[in-house]
Amino acid sequence: MNMSKERLIQSIRTIPNFPIPGILFYDVTTLFKDAECLRLLSDMMYEEYKERGITKVVGIESRGFIMGPVLATRVDAGFITVRKPGKLPAETIQQSYDKEYGTDIIEIHKDALTEDDVVLLHDDLLATGGTMLAAVELVKKFKPKKIYVNFIIELSELKGRELFGNDVEIESILTV
């Protein structure tokens, strides 16, 4: 592992039994508050996607709203939000999904994407993969040219990556 990735991993705060007993929460806000870590993370994401023709970055509520726009500006793409129900003001489409501690629903605006888009979906963490799988299913309804998926952290022992088909490219900046 390179020094930059080691620096980022060492900066992540872990919180046991949050939000419920048995869950080890990886708190990426400690990466965001450190200027060097934020810059390293931004640079690593940019290097991964700078030549992929991304036209829209889709951030998943809420931690996907932090690095998603940063990357979008760097690759000259627009930024789209995927949110919990009732948060988006215009007409939406929904997708329900199971997560490690319950069931939830996410939404995207009906006019958010087109068939001409190359989409990068971004979130902070890949655990069991339910939230991102639902977001990918929402984005697929727009029939974009290509879908990429990016996470800051992947919890490899939970094997969330296995939920996704071969038509989606998944990259994680850090694996723990």
Give the count of beta carbons closer than 10 Å to the beta carbon of residue 86.
Answer: 9
C-alpha dihedral sign at 161, 14, 173, 110: positive
**Is 90 exceeded by the pLDDT of residue 17?**
yes
Q: Which of 36, 63, 161, 171 is catalytic?
A: 63
Which comes out higher in pLDDT, residue 166 or 149?
A: 149
**Is 70 exceeded by the pLDDT of residue 45?**
yes
The structure tokens 């919890």 sit at 155
Q: What is the pLDDT of residue 33?
A: 96
In a domain, 105, yes or no: yes
Overall average pLDDT of the 82-106 stretch = 90
Q: What is the pLDDT of residue 100?
A: 63
**Is 80 exceeded by the pLDDT of residue 101?**
no
In a domain, 25, yes or no: no
Q: What is the pLDDT of residue 19?
A: 87
* Chain center to CA of 163: 15
Q: What is the pLDDT of residue 7?
A: 95
Quote the domain boundaries for residue 123.
51-175
Tally of structural domains, the chain: 1
In a domain, 16, yes or no: no
- Alpha-carbon distance 9 to 133, whole Å? 25
Which residues lie closer than 8 Å to 112 by C-beta, 6 or more apart? 56, 58, 80, 142
Q: CB–CB of 93/80 below 8 Å? A: no
Band (pLDDT 50/70/90 cuts) for residue 171 is very high
In this prediction the pTM is 0.94
**Is 90 exceeded by the pLDDT of residue 81?**
yes
- Tell me whether residue 100 is one of the annotated catalytic residues: yes
DSSP sequence for 122-159: EEEEESS-HHHHHHHHHHHTT--SEEEEEEEEE-GGG-
Q: Which of 7, 48, 61, 100 is catalytic?
A: 100
- Domain CATH number, residue 132: 3.40.50.2020
**Is 80 exceeded by the pLDDT of residue 151?**
yes
Helices (H) and strands (E) in the chain, counts: 5, 9
**Is 70 exceeded by the pLDDT of residue 14?**
yes
pLDDT tens string 46-80: 999 999 999 999 999 999 999 999 999 999 999 99
- Tell me whether residue 74 is one of the annotated catalytic residues: no
In a domain, 32, yes or no: no
In a domain, 168, yes or no: yes
